[in-house]
Amino acid sequence: KDLLIMNGPNLNLLGKREPEVYGSANFEEILDQINADMGELLLPYRLHYFQSNHEGALLDQLHAVGFDYLGIVFNPGAYAHTSIALADAVRGISRPVVEVHLSNVHQREEYRRHSYLAEAAVGVISGLGWRGYALGLRYLIEQFGQKI
């Protein structure tokens, strides 16, 4: 079974971008941390990663894997707050999506408090840094993975 971590706009700049908000690790380093943190739990799964700054590319990726993969951990960046299309895509696919934000969006500007995507996601993790991705994956595996 396959799992996907997907990052939206500006998250390719992680490590360089506002490190006081988003930390100093780039996503390659974060993926290493996630793999180390999850250890054996990930062994039966293939973990894929996709990042795009383009709303349409994120839509295409959700459509491509959203009927097939175990689930998706998605940090939509600012598209959380603006994109009805991405929220509709999450509603339209059959596999669960966990929304993740590195920062605590409720501690920041007012316009970050609302997420269209959250209305369609199974849950939201915000403010726990890179661990949010690992916790999201853990949830998908425990809740939807094969029970032996």
By CB under 6 A, name the binding residues for ligand DQA: 10, 75, 77-78, 101-103, 105, 112
The answer to whether 3 and 48 are in contact (CB under 8 A) is yes
Nearer to ligand DQA, 105 or 135 (CB): 105
Strand-pairing partners, residue 73, are 5, 98
3-state helix, strand, coil in the chain (%, to 5): 45, 20, 35
Taking the complex as a whole, how short is the minimal distance between the CB of residue 112 and ligand DQA, in angstroms?
A: 4
Is 68 marked within a binding site?
Answer: no
Of 48, 54, 63, 101, the active-site residue reads: 101
b/e code 110-140 from CB counts within 10 Å (16+ = b): eebeebbbbebbbebbbebbbbbbbbbbbbb
Is 7 marked within a binding site?
Answer: no
Taking the complex as a whole, how short is the minimal distance between the CB of residue 20 and ligand DQA, in angstroms?
A: 12
Q: Give yes or no: 101 in active site.
A: yes
Taking the complex as a whole, how short is the minimal distance between the CB of residue 76 and ligand DQA, in angstroms?
A: 7
Q: How far apart are CA 34 and CA 17, in angstroms?
A: 20
User: What single-letter DSSP state applies at residue 3?
Assistant: E
Is 54 marked within a binding site?
Answer: no
Nearer to ligand DQA, 67 or 111 (CB): 111
Nearer to ligand DQA, 12 or 145 (CB): 12
Is 114 marked within a binding site?
Answer: no
Tell me which residues are annotated as active site: 22, 101
